[in-house]
Structure 1
Amino acid sequence: MRKSLQYWIERRQWEGLAEIDALGSILNDPSLQDGGWELGSFLATGTREIASLLALLESINASPPDWDSALDFGCGVGRLTRALAFRFAYVTGVDASATMLCKARSINGDLTNVEFITNTSSGLENVTNSAYSIVVSSIVLQHIPPPHAERFISEFFRVLKPGGIAAFQIPVEDLRQVSLLRRILWKIRPRALLALLGVGKEFSFSMHTVPEDRIREIIERAGADVCAVLSTNHTNSDFNGAIEIVEKGGHNGGLASRLFVVRKPLTWA
C-alpha cells in the first residue's frame, strides 16, 4: 500500500507539472523554465538525442534488429516519440500523465504512424508481448520509485521482440554531498505535497536511484544480454538531449547516470 501511494503521489506531481509547464518539466534547464522553451527548439532536442542514440548503438554493434517498431517509455509530450517516428515504421509512446499525453497527441497530430497509451500501473499491461524492435527510455526511470522502476525494466524485455534492444537510462548512485535534513526534505517535499492539496502550485519531481548491481540482476533474471553500460550526462540540468559519455565520477548533476543497452535473445523463455 505504501509503495502504491508513493507512486500515486509521483504521478499526481507530474500531472501538476504538465499543466503548469510541460516542456520545462521534461527538460529542466534552469534558463528555460516557466515557459522558456520554444516548441520547435524543444522537439529538436529529441531529434538530436535519437540520432545520437542510434549512432551510439551502431558503434557498439547493438542496433535494433529491424526498423519496424519502437516504444518510447515515459514519452511525455512525445519529444523522443516524434524523432523515433521518422526512423521506425510504427511508434508507441507510453506515459502515466493524461495531461502530457493530451499535449503529445496535439503536438504530433500530423504523424500517422504514432499512438499514445496512458499507463498508470507499475506494469505495461496494455503493451503487447514481443512487439517492439527497440524500447527507449530517457530521463524517466529516475523519477519513478525504485520498486516500480525495477518492474518496468523487467517489462521492457517482455514487450521486445526476439533480438530487440532496450536502451534505458537511470541513475545508479547519489553522489550529492548534502546534510541528512536536506535529504529528508527532498524526500518529503512539503511544498509539493501542499500543491496536491490545492495550496500553491509548487509541484516537483523526485530523483531516485537503483544500484547498478540490482539492475544487472533484473537483466540476468530476464535472460537478456548486456551489450553496454555507459556513464552519461543525462542527470545534468542542461542535458537537453545532448548525450555525452563521461568518466565515472564526473557527474555535474550529482547523480551517477548510466545508459543500459540490453538485447533480448533470439530464443527467450
Structure 2
Amino acid sequence: MLPGLRLRQARELLGLTYRDVERASYELAARRGRPDFILHISRLADIENRGVVPSLHKLYTLAAIYRLNPLEIFGWYDVPIEECFHDGTSFPVPRTHLMAAPTSLRIPMKFDPAFDPRRTEFLSRMVEKWGHFEGVLTNGHSRHIYGYIGMSDRRMMPLLRPGSIVLVDGSVRKIDDGDWTTEHDRPMYFVEVRDGYRCGWFHQEGSRLVMQPHPLSHCLPETWRMPEEAEIVGRVTGVVTRLNGPEHAPYRESPEERGDSSRKVP
C-alpha cells in the first residue's frame, strides 16, 4: 500500500479533516517553537494523493497528530531505521569513535531440545525461534554506549582488531589497572582525547594518563594530562569483532594514526 494512502487512512480513522490537521500542526509548531512543523492543507493533500514525501519535521507532525510511531512511517517510505546500525558497520572508517546503538537486536528465543551449552555448536542450527530485543542495552537512561575501533587504529592488535565494535560502561570512569593476571583479564577503557578517541589499556601516573598499546602492535605509548587533555568515557565490557579477510585489507596508517605521535611517555 502506498504511504500516502496509509496516512490518509490513519487520518480518516481518527475522524480528522485536512483543516483539523493543519490547525493541530500550528499548535504543535507554536509549542515546539519551529514553523517547520506546520503542515498546510495543500501539502497534506499532495502527501496523500500525489506521492510527495514529507520532510522530517512534517513527518513528526503527522506521527504526533495521528498517534503513530515515526519509525513505522519511515518504514512505509522504505527507510529501514532499525537497520541503520547494521548498515553503518558495513562501511569501515579509519578512526576510532563512539557510535549510536542499534534500536533492536536479533536474539534466540527458543533453543532446540538437543542443545548442549557445554559443547561447541553452530548456533543457527540450535535455535528454533528468533526474536528481537528492542532498545538493546542502551536507551535514554542506560549507562552503556558503543564504540568503533577505526580501521587505521592498530594500537591493540591482535587483541582488539580494527573494525571491532566495543560495548562501553559509561558509569566506570576511573582507571583500575591493578587486579589482573593475563592480558585477557586486563581492563580496557574508551577515552576521549584532543584528536579523537583511544581504546585499550591505560594507567595513571599522578595527573598523567598513559595508554599502553599491545606489545605486538609495534605502537608506542602515549600520554596526556588529566583532565585537560583526556577524559575517560568508560570501561570496555564487551567486544564484537570480525576476522580480517583479503577483501577487508586494513588502511595504510600514518605514523600518527599508528600511535607514533609526538605525545609519548619519556
Higher relative contact order (CA 8 A, sep 6+): 1
Tell me which protein shows more helix as a share of its residues. 1
Report TM bin, short chain: under 0.3
Q: Which has the larger radius of gyration?
A: 2
TM-score by structure 1 length? 0.22
